[in-house]
Structure formats: C-alpha cells, structure tokens
Amino acid sequence: MSSGESPQQLVDHLFRHEAGKMIAVLTRIFGIHNLELVEDTVQETFLKALQVWKYQAVPDNPAGWLMQVARNRTIDLIRRQQKLADISEELSLRLGADTEQVIGQFFLDTEIADSQLRMIFTCCHPALNPEDQVALTLKTVSGFGVSEISKALVSNDATIQKRLYRAKEYIRQHEIRFEIPAGEPLKERLDTVYTILYLLFNEGYNSSKADELIRHDLCAEAMRLCKLLTEHRVGNTPSSFALLSLMCFQASRFDSRMGDDNTIILLEHQDRHGWNQELIRRGYYYLNLSATGDRLSVYHIESAIAAEHCLSPDFASTNWETLLKLYDCLLELKPIPIVQLNRSILLAQLGRLETAIDTILDIPGIAQLLKHHYIYNAVLGELYGRAGNIAEARRLLEKAYELTPSLAEKKLLRDKMDQLA
Amino acid sequence: MKDFLFVFRGPTPEDLKLSPEDMQASMQKWMAWIQQLNEKGLYGGGDPLLPAGKTVQGKKPVVTDGPFAEGKELVGGYIIVKAETLEEATELASGFPDFQLQGSVEVREIMKMPMPS
C-alpha cells in the first residue's frame, strides 16, 4: 500500500442501501412471513463482514462481497432445511447442485430490483396505516435502524417498535402477498406508494425539530426510492417522474429555508443564489419526462408550481397569474382547505386582497380551522394587516402565536406583529 | 522495534444493536486507523474472535462453556502493532475507534528473547 493515500472511502449509506437490497431478496426467497428471520440474517451477515473487514481490508467491491456472503448463507440455510426434510440422499444430491443455481437466480441485478419493488409495494399496502407504512419502509427498504427512524420522525424507539410490530402482524395475519400487483390494483398501489414517499420527503423537508443531517437523509432517501421506482418497468409512469421532479425542486431550496439561529426564511426572502441549480436542472429533466400520457396527477401540478418559483430570478418577478391558474387546477384535484389557503395568498399577490380574504372566510369549516390551526390565523392575519385592518390582524396573529408549538414560527409571527403599523 | 499485542474488549456488535449506518461509520474509522498503522509499517495483522468459546481450567482440568464475561470485559479481537516503547505503543492505541462503544484496549509487549544457538 503506497503511503500518503487517503483511506478508501465507502460510498455514503452503502451499508443501508445494501441492507435494503438484501432484505428484499431474502424476503422473496424465504417468504414475507419470515421477515423477522430475514432481518436477523441480514444483520448477522453485516456484523460478520464488519468484524472480518476491520482487521483485514475492505474488498474492492464491498457491495458485491456482502451479497456473496448473503447468498452463501442463504444456500446454507436452505440446505439445512432440506436436511431436516426427510428426503433421499439422491434427491438431496440433485437439489444440492441446483440449489446454488436456483438461489443464484434471485441474486441477479434484475431480480434484486424486482424484489426491492415488491418490498416497497408491500410496505405501502393501503390496509396499513400511513405512519406504520412509513416506519416499515424506512426499516426494511431503506435500511434505517430503529433509533434512526425515531430521530428522523421525532418520536421514540418504543413507538416506532410498536408501528413496526403492527405492520408486520397485519401482513402476517392477512397473508399479504409479496408481489407487484397488476391492473387496477397496481394503479391504486402506486398511488399509496407516492403518498408514502411524499410523506417521507415532507418529514424531512418540513420538520424543524429533527436535526439537519437526519432531515436531509430523509429527503434524499425519498428521492432515491422514487428514482428506483422510475427505473422499473412498472414504476416508470408519468406520475413517478412528476413526483421525482417535485422533490428535486423542493430539495433545491433545502438549505435556504432556515437561518443560522433556526429562524424560518420565507420564500420571498430566500437568497435564490443559494438554491441548488443541479437539483433544479434535474427537476426540469424529470418534469419533461413526466409530460406524457393522459393522466394529470396532483404531482404534475405541484411540480409545475414549484418549477414556476424556481424559474423566477426573484420573488417579485414570479408569474403569479400562471401560478393562480395552476392552483385552480390543483383545487379541482385536491379540493382541500390548505390548497384554498395557498390560492388565496396568490390572489393577494395579484392585488385582489378583498377576494383573497373572502376566499379564506368561505372555506368550509373555517371556524373550526381557525380555532385549531395556526396557519389559517397566520395567513388571514397577514392579509388583514395588508388591508389595513390592524386590530383584526393583531388578534389573528396572536392566536397563531398561541397555537403553534414551533419556536421558529413563533419568532416569525412576533416579527410580523412588530411590523404592524 | 518491539511487537505489542493490542487486546480489544467490549460488548459484541450484536449486543450493541448497530444499524447499517452505524456499522458503516465504525468501518470507516477502522479503515482509517489500520491504514495509518499500515502506512507507517507498524501493522502486524490481527483477527476478530467469535464470542462463544470454552474455558478449560482446574487440576483435572474441567471444561466449561464460556467465557461469559460481562459485555465490556469480553475479548473481541486482537492486533499486533510494532513500536519502540510501551509509551509509543500506547500512543498508537489511542486511535482505537470503539471507545464510544464501551470498548477498551489492553496494550502488552510481546516478550522476546533471542535463543542461544
């Protein structure tokens, strides 16, 4: 070994990604009902590899080597099962030669990708509840440890263990199949997968409580899984590309959203030079790839909205008219209060302040929403402030301040109240 | 140059319940440490030890399963390192990556006496 060489670097998150692959392949071989056994086997494999590599050297292709070890262990386990099965020596011999061959097939690259997709689809089974889906995906697909999941989701180990247990129990009791659905069920399942991936992304993007590295990890992982989806014949749909494009656009702003002292920097105040151009470029690339077929998804529209912001060199030059049209489309697919709220902000940007305020007041159930959710108070308060109704503005901003648990949000609201005439 | 045995003690990786990410972080640190020793020509190899074993002791002797040492006490592996003095060897031992994981290093000089021919 020549001196002065910097130590060999393992690719970021290599072990996590390989663990995810391994769990998928072994689940395909041993069956989803054996998920615990599979997780234990994968853990053992990694631990042994770690121990040996510590003292010798990491092989040139650590990923390949890990898979090899997993494969050999699998063949051993299968052979052991065969021994326990009371079969003739001849059959045993015949199976012996074939076992390696058969098991080997599961470890081909195309089959590994297929198994990973099955795992994603199984974790995102619509009968499981979303938080369980998220936890199970992070554990078995993304290779996160339980503590890593609790840190990422700002929860605790016991809660996460419970979610994992519930999910696995459900899968076992209802004999959920480890497969890629076809036909109509496939469309529905893909929709669930998108929801979970987007949920995952937002946990990383919007959480202000988890630490920055973990939040970054979550966003990156959501994007990685979405990309994995697009690389498979079943997943390379326009909606998959639209979702991936949306994530790229949002991720490009990841670093500009928080100030040093954990203050929130609103879109209008963000330094656009700090937006990651490479991610924006990729956002457009995937947006283009999504512009096919006859199904306009929510992700297409949300991505177009994000693209519009990224296109604009500064806040003032943003094409508010186009954004309003996009929000009109979004509202048709997602007629929910928060979309109405965001649309009203656009109306205000276009100078239609009274209409904006009326739009909010017309939201079905607005009284309850104002009672419990800070964001409606914050936006309505801001608009009243702009309209000159200072008393009402102050009242609403105070209510928002009261309702939000976030220190960063509180600071923002305090600043807005100070700015009121 | 003398040879020193570094005896590593600590909970097993199984006990530590390391996640894949934790394992990779540990791996990076070990790679860096061993590489450092290698570059200076001071690394004499080493091996991990499986935790299960037997203890043979007593006058008869008697064989028992074990060692069932407490987590922190269990010997997990060893390496051989070259150094001029115990002080130097101990200095090198400070690069051991698993202190945060309740690990420890025992540094012992390997006795050598040239045999008369």
ipTM: 0.85
pLDDT > 60? residue B27: yes
Q: Hey, what are B61's tokens?
A: 């002797």
Name the residue facing A16 among B20, B27, B28 (closest C-beta).
B20
CB contact under 8 A, B20 and A7: no
Question: Which residue of B lies nearest to A22 if distances are taken between CA atoms?
Answer: B20
List the single residue in A4, A15, A55 with the smallest CB-CB distance to B21: A15
**What is the pLDDT, as a whole number, of residue A4?**
44
Residue in chain A nearest B34 by alpha carbon: A55
pLDDT at B114: 83
Summarised one tens digit per residue, pLDDT across range A193-230 is: 999 999 999 999 887 677 778 888 999 999 999 999 99
Instruction: Give CA–CA dist B73/B94, Å, rounded.
Output: 18
Residues of B in contact with A150 (CB under 8 A): none
CB B78 within 8 A of CB B42: no
Question: Which residues in chain B are closer than 8 Å to A47, comparing Cβ atoms?
Answer: 13-14, 18, 23
State the Cα torsion A203-A206-A207-A210 to the nearest 10°.
80
- Whether the per-residue pLDDT at B117 is higher than 80: the answer is no
> CB A55 to CB B47 under 8 A?
yes
Are A55 and B48 inside 8 Å of each other by CB? yes
- Pick the residue from chain A with its C-alpha nearest to B80: A55
Residues of chain B neighbouring A138 (CB-CB closer than 8 A): none
Chain B hits for A18, Cβ within 8 Å: 20
In 3D space, the residue among A136, A233, A235 whose CA is nearest the CA of residue A176 turns out to be A136
The pLDDT assigned to A263 comes to 73
Per-residue pLDDT of chain A (421 residues; tens, 9 = 90+): 444 455 578 889 999 999 999 999 999 999 999 999 999 999 999 998 888 888 887 888 889 989 998 998 888 888 887 777 766 777 777 777 788 888 889 999 999 999 999 999 999 999 999 999 999 999 999 999 999 999 999 899 999 999 999 999 999 999 999 999 999 999 999 999 999 999 999 999 887 677 778 888 999 999 999 999 999 999 999 999 999 999 999 999 988 887 777 677 888 888 888 899 999 999 999 999 999 988 889 999 999 999 999 989 898 899 999 999 999 999 999 999 999 999 999 999 999 999 999 999 999 999 999 999 999 999 999 999 999 999 999 999 999 999 988 888 888 899 999 988 6
pLDDT tens per residue, range B62-101: 999 888 777 788 999 999 999 999 999 999 999 999 999 9
Q: Please indicate if any CB of chain A lies within 8 Å of the CB of B13.
A: yes
Cα distance from B23 to chain A (closest Cα, Å)? 7
Distance from CA of B45 to the nearest CA of A (A): 7
Are A10 and B23 a contacting pair at CB < 8 A?
no
Nearest by CB: A148 against B21, B34, B77: B21
Give the pLDDT score at A6.
56
Which residue, among B21, B11, B15, has the nearest Cα to B98 in the 3D structure? B11
Q: Which residue of A has its CA nearest to B18?
A: A145
CB–CB of B79 and A55 under 8 A? yes
Q: Across B1-102, where does the E strand assignment appear?
A: 2-9, 43-48, 54-57, 62-65, 75-83
pLDDT at residue A1 in the model: 42
DSSP A141: I
Q: Which chain B positions have a beta carbon within 8 Å of A46's beta carbon?
A: 20, 23
Question: Would you list which residues of chain A are within 8 Å, Cβ to Cβ, of chain B?
Answer: 1, 3-5, 7-10, 13-16, 18-19, 46-47, 50-55, 57-58, 143-148
User: Strand B62-65 relative to strand B75-83: parallel, antiparallel, unpaired?
Assistant: unpaired
Nearest to A10 among B18, B28, B79 (CB): B28
- Taking one residue from A and the other from B, the number of pairs with CB-CB distance under 8 angstroms is 80
Amino acid at A92: S
Which residues share a beta bridge with B5?
B80, B108
Which residue is closest to B8 within chain A, CA to CA?
Answer: A55
Interface with chain A: mutation pick from B19, B37, B50, B80, highest number of A CBs within 10 Å: B19
Mean pLDDT of B6-34: 92
Asked if the C-beta of B18 comes within 8 angstroms of chain A's C-beta atoms, the answer is yes
Chain A residues whose CB is inside 8 A of the B79 CB are 55
- Band (B20; pLDDT cuts 50, 70, 90): very high
Angle, vertex CA A224, rays to CA A218 and CA A228, nearest 5: 145
Q: Which residues of B touch A1 (CB under 8 A)?
A: 35, 38-39
* Best mutation target, B15, B21, B50, B101, to test chain A (most A CBs within 10 A): B21
- Do the Cβ atoms of A143 and B19 come within 8 Å? yes
Say yes or no for a CB contact (<8 Å) between A145 and B19: yes
Interchain proximity A8–B39, CB inside 8 Å: no
Give the separation between CA B20 and CA A42, rounded to whole angstroms: 10
- Share above pLDDT 70 across residues of chain B, in percent, rounded to a whole number: 100
Burial of A383 (0-12, 13-18, 19+ CB in 10 A): buried
Residue A294, CA distances (Å) to A185, A190, A238, A405, B41 in order: 19, 16, 9, 43, 66
Q: Which of A15, A16, A54, A216 to mutate to test the interface with B (most CBs of B within 10 A)?
A: A54
Q: Do A16 and B77 touch (CB under 8 A)?
A: no
A364 burial (CB, 10 Å; 0-12 / 13-18 / 19+) is exposed
Whether B27 sits inside 8 A of A54 (CB atoms) is yes
Closest CA to A58 of A3, A107, A14: A14
> What single-letter DSSP state applies at residue A264?
B
User: Which pLDDT score is estimated for A243?
Assistant: 98
